[in-house]
Every structure is written in C-alpha cells, then in structure tokens.
Amino acid sequence: MIEVALLHETGWPGADWDMLAQRAVAAAIAHSPYAAFATDAALYEVAVKLTSDEEVHGLNRAYRDKDKPTNVLSFPMVQDDLLQATGNTDDGEVLLGDIVLAEGVCAAEAAEKGISVADHAAHLIVHGTFHLLGYDHMDDNEAEAMEALEIAALASLGLSDPYGDRATGDKD
C-alpha cells in the first residue's frame, strides 16, 4: 500500500494537492519495477512538501552544494540495492523518502512551458518519485530510461510528454 503525506505551504495556487500528489506518486510507482508496492501488505510512505524557493535554496545549498533554488529535490531513505527487500520490514512500514518542490521555480517553469502549475508539479512529483526508487539521469542512457518511465507515468495521468522539445532543464 502507498501513502503520501503532503505538507503544503501557502503561496501555491489552488488545487487538490493531496489528490495530485497521491496520483503522481502512485503513477510513478505503477510504471516502475516496484509496482507491487501498491498492493503489498507493507505500507510504503512518501512525503511531498510544497514550499518556497527560499527553503529549497537552503536545502540545495546544504545537501547538493548548489547555491540556488531548483524545482524539485528528492531525499531517498532506502538504498537502491535494498528496495527489493523492503517488504520484509519489521514494523510493516517503509519510508521511501521525501520530495520537495519550490513554488516560484515551479510556477515560472510552468508559465514558460504554457502549462498549469498543477500539471508541472505532477511531473516534478513523478520525477522525484523515480529518484526515490533509485533512478537518476547522470548519463544519457540513465536519462533516457528515466524520461521514458516519466512519460509513461504522466500519460497514465492524462498529461503530455514534458520532454517533447528535449529541453529538459535542471530537474533537480
């Protein structure tokens, strides 16, 4: 079973953020090798925080040595090589990790792409979830594989390919 805890700060436009975050995380997991997490007896938890550019800037500086805000940061709590064994948890709960989105950066990127903030946020949550599941985009092969999964997950949500123009930008 998948549970998404949403922390929503002011400044984000009106939307059903709880439902959006739940659907985006579930879509990413469903399009990964870990689709069984949705029906496992164990509880797989993801925390999504919608916050300010300032908070994300501080986190990006502290954890990535990058002195600027970014659109999304992911903080996995389970090592890649241990994800398959997470169903064997002692207490039946697995914290997959945290995803943090910056409101101003997300809104500016959405405006640039001509899409809603909610649709862009859904993409960023899908992207962040794949990072929690061990995916990365450090080289071209990894990036292509991760983008293909994102495109499939977003299509299942009725959202178009965000990489259609191949201008991927700084996703984290």
Q: How many residues comprise the chain?
A: 172
Is 131 annotated as ligand-binding?
Answer: yes
Q: Provide the 8-state DSSP code for 155.
A: H
Are 8 and 20 in contact by the 8 Å Cβ rule? The answer is no
What CA–CA distances, in Å, run from 144 to 44, 96, 166? 26, 23, 11
26's CB contacts (< 8 A; 6+ apart) are: 2, 4, 38
Is 8 annotated as ligand-binding?
Answer: no
Single-letter code of the amino acid located at 162 = P
Is 120 annotated as ligand-binding?
Answer: no
Are 96 and 44 in contact by the 8 Å Cβ rule? The answer is yes
Exposure string over 110-119, b if 16+ CB within 10 A, otherwise e:
beebebebbb
Binding residue positions: 127, 131, 137
| Sequence ranges of the binding site for Zn(2+) | 127, 131, 137
